[in-house]
């Protein structure tokens, strides 16, 4: 297993432990990802996938363990810290605010301001709308009858994921964490989302793809990390394994 | 084109309330021609103003996903502290008002702190502080009304009239509406309020400090409630310990009539202003119609229910 830090790792999580009371959610887990790499994080329910990425996205501190970014030790005390370090996370169903317009969602928490009369802060709505259109254009979903002034509630599940991916791409994230992006999606939408994740990689982002669906993960990942009951049980290059092997590792553990 | 822009501007919901305001005005003026006289209109808007100032804050807080039931108590407590400092301790009125407004910010902070740090619903947290703050008013006042300066500059500015006719309250109401609208629609903080109330987890995931957003909004709400209390206190020249009872629910009613969701994330300041106006129109119109004042709240209750039904109907059609 790749438990040693490598010079070109973007993220290296070393010996991560997480306890919730007496429940051990993660037990000495090592995880790494390189720039422009897609790593599939797979495992059954309760394997610890979500806990691991919540630690990486600044939502929880680890009970024990260290995170290195570009070889430097970091301490995330809030999601803001992780975002500032270039880590964008798209949580399952929790990425967007349904009642806000697309452009307000894209700039949520990072709203551009201009000064009215030199001293009154004012949302730069024109910039928000214009840049949001560019963000959607970049990922190729502009024009499909979607206006950035629509509220998110009216979008399909696939369109919502696309907006979240567009947001990560717009802010030039170094790492995009996608939690179950293809859950409950139609075949067509799944195909589109997988393509968008590959285009994120091509644009220079590393991607962590968490899913129950080995088939989806296998189709685009460079490497697969398998968790089971809080432990890492396998870390395989896609070129050196098969879908069947990964499935049987998960099933038999 | 113009219509579509209008619709967008009011987000449809605001338009619904505007129609209700016009319909009520027409109905009341048919029943009694003096309803639309300039003098009576001023009375209605003044009545709407004090409630509207409170409701603007309550709306922001509801959009952030929280309630404040203590606004009626803060409405009494801050002016009461000012009145006591002024009448019994000879503190200058301007300092006494400053102290009262500072106190309001502290009271709002307490509401926000209990809600976010103890993680209990704000409905319960502020139900508790509503009772506590009211008890403090009663203890301080000993149950009696207390005189507050009525001829100083500040009392005229806050609670006086312009030219003996036009109540300053109306100007303050408009001012608060403009400020609140600006915060919600034109500031990054407003976007964060919407995000916090609309989907707290998504807001946290993009790095918004939702605890901070909520506490600041609680403080702003308390500040406005106290300010509305001063508008009334300076108009009357005294503060009674039971001032503002029931205002918490009237403020929520105004917000809801104006299209603000009880679930957070959605709200309209202009809708709330019109909702407060409807409340004033009903209170006034019922008197003009010669109907027993005991019916006032009953009428309002009907309006609240009808408004929510219409709002839900409209928002379903928008999808």
Mean pLDDT of A56-67: 93
Residue ranges of the domains in chain A? Answer: 11-97+173-252
Cβ atoms of residues B65 and B200 within 8 Å:
yes
- Nearest Cα of chain A lies from the Cα of B314 at a distance, in angstroms, of 14
**A146/A78: higher pLDDT:** A78
CA distances from A222 to A37, A162, B154 (A): 6, 21, 71
Mean pLDDT of B307-318: 74
Yes or no, beta carbons of A121 and B187 under 8 Å apart: yes
In a domain, B102, yes or no: yes
In a domain, B277, yes or no: yes
Give percent of chain A above pLDDT 90: 53
Q: What range defines the domain where residue B77 resides?
A: 15-23+34-318
| The model's pTM | 0.90
**Spatial distance between the Cα atoms of A94 and B203, rounded to a whole number of angstroms:** 9
Residues of A in contact with B186 (CB under 8 A): 122-123, 125
Give the ipTM.
Answer: 0.86
Token code pair at residue B150: 């009525």
Yes or no, beta carbons of A91 and B186 under 8 Å apart: no
User: Where residue B167 sits, what CATH number does that domain have?
Assistant: 1.10.3470
Tell me: the pLDDT tens digits for A205-226? 999 999 988 999 999 999 999 9
Tell me: the pLDDT tens digits for B68-103? 999 999 999 999 999 999 999 999 999 999 999 999
pLDDT range class, residue A144, cuts 50, 70, 90: low
pLDDT of residue B244: 94
Token code pair at residue B300: 């309002």
Give percent of chain A above pLDDT 70: 97
pLDDT of residue B12: 55
Number of domains in chain B: 1
Indicate the average pLDDT of chain A. Answer: 89
Does residue A163 surpass a pLDDT of 50?
yes
Does residue A1 surpass a pLDDT of 60?
no
Cβ atoms of residues A152 and A101 within 8 Å:
yes
In a domain, B1, yes or no: no
Yes or no, beta carbons of B195 and A100 under 8 Å apart: yes
Residues of B in contact with A89 (CB under 8 A): 205
How many residues comprise chain B? 319
- Nearest Cα of chain A lies from the Cα of B24 at a distance, in angstroms, of 30
> Strand pairing partners for A74?
A67
Yes or no, beta carbons of B205 and A80 under 8 Å apart: no
HEC readout, B225-290: HHHHHHHHHHHHCEECCCCCCCHHHHHHHHHHHCCCCCCCCCCCHHHHHHHHHHHHHHHHHHHHCC
pLDDT of residue B1: 39
- E-assigned strand segments in chain B: 146-147, 161-162, 166-167, 238-239
In a domain, B116, yes or no: yes
**B311/A81: higher pLDDT:** A81
Q: Looking at domain A11-97+173-252, which CATH architecture does it have?
A: 3-Layer(aba) Sandwich (3.40)
**Spatial distance between the Cα atoms of B111 and B180, rounded to a whole number of angstroms:** 20
- Nearest Cα of chain A lies from the Cα of B194 at a distance, in angstroms, of 7
In a domain, B86, yes or no: yes
pLDDT range class, residue B9, cuts 50, 70, 90: very low
In a domain, B145, yes or no: yes
Residues of A in contact with B195 (CB under 8 A): 97, 100, 108-109
Nearest-CB residue to B207 (from A91, A109, A113): A109
**Spatial distance between the Cα atoms of A88 and B49, rounded to a whole number of angstroms:** 45
Element (H, E) at A28: strand A23-33
pLDDT range class, residue B129, cuts 50, 70, 90: very high
pLDDT of residue B318: 56
Q: Which of A1-5, A49-53, A206-210, B63-67 has the lowest mean pLDDT?
A: A1-5
In a domain, B10, yes or no: no
Handedness of CA A68, A70, A71, A77 (dihedral sign): negative
Mean pLDDT of B244-249: 94
Indicate the average pLDDT of chain B. Answer: 91
pLDDT of residue B249: 94
In a domain, B64, yes or no: yes
pLDDT of residue B93: 93
Mean pLDDT of A25-34: 94
Mean pLDDT of B212-235: 97
Cβ atoms of residues B104 and B226 within 8 Å:
yes
Residues of B in contact with A107 (CB under 8 A): 191
pLDDT of residue B115: 97
């Amino acid at each position: 297993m790749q438990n040693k830090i490598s010079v070109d790792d973007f993220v290296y999580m070393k010996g991560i432990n997480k306890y919730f009371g007496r429940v051990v959610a993660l037990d000495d887990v090592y995880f790494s990802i390189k720039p422009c790499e897609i790593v599939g994080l797979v495992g059954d329910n309760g394997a610890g996938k979500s806990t691991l990425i919540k630690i990486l996205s600044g939502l929880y501190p680890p009970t024990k363990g260290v995170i290195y970014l570009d070889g430097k030790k970091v301490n995330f005390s809030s999601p803001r810290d992780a975002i500032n370090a270039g880590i964008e996370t798209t949580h399952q169903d929790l990425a967007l605010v349904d009642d806000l317009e697309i452009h307000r969602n894209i700039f949520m928490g990072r709203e551009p301001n201009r000064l009215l009369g030199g001293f009154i802060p004012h949302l730069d709505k024109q910039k928000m709308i214009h840049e949001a259109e560019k963000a959607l254009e970049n990922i190729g979903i502009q024009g499909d009858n979607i206006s950035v002034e629509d509220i998110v509630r009216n979008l399909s599940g696939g369109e919502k994921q696309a907006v979240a991916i567009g947001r990560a791409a717009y802010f030039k994230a170094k790492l995009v964490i996608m939690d179950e992006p293809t859950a409950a999606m139609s075949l067509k939408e799944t195909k589109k989302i997988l393509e968008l994740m590959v285009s994120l990689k091509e644009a220079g982002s590393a991607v962590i793809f968490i899913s129950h669906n080995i088939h989806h993960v296998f189709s685009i990942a460079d490497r697969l990390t398998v968790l089971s009951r809080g432990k890492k049980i396998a870390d395989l290059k896609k070129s050196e394994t098969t879908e069947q092997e990964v499935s049987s590792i998960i099933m038999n553990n | 084109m113009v219509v579509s822009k209008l619709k967008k501007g009011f987000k449809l919901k605001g338009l619904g309330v505007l129609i209700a305001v016009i319909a009520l005005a027409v109905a009341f003026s048919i029943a009694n021609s003096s309803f639309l006289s300039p003098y009576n209109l001023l009375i209605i808007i003044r009545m709407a103003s004090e409630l509207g100032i409170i409701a603007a804050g309550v709306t922001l807080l509801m959009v952030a996903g929280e309630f404040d039931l203590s606004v009626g108590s803060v409405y009494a407590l801050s002016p009461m502290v000012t009145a006591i400092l002024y009448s019994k301790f000879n503190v200058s009125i301007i300092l006494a008002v400053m102290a009262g407004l500072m106190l309001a910010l502290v009271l709002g902070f307490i509401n926000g702190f209990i809600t976010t740090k103890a993680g209990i619903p704000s409905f319960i947290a502020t139900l508790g502080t509503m009772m506590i703050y009211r008890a403090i008013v009663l203890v301080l006042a000993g149950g009696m009304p207390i005189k507050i300066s009525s001829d100083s500059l500040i009392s005229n500015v806050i609670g006086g009239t312009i030219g003996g006719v036009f109540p300053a309250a109306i100007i303050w109401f408009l001012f608060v509406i403009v400020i609140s609208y600006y915060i919600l629609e034109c500031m990054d903080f407003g976007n964060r309020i919407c995000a916090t109330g609309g989907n707290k987890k998504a807001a946290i995931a993009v790095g918004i400090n939702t605890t901070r957003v909520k506490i600041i909004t609680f403080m702003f709400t308390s500040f406005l409630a106290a300010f509305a209390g001063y508008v009334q206190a300076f108009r009357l020249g005294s503060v009674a310990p039971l001032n503002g009872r029931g205002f918490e629910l009237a403020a929520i009613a105004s917000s809801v009539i104006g299209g603000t969701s009880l679930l957070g994330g959605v709200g309209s300041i202009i809708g709330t202003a019109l909702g407060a106006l409807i409340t004033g129109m009903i209170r006034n119109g019922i008197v003009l119609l010669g109907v027993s004042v005991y019916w006032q709240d009953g009428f309002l209750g009907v309006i609240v229910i009808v408004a929510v039904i219409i709002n839900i109907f409209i928002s379903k059609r928008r999808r």
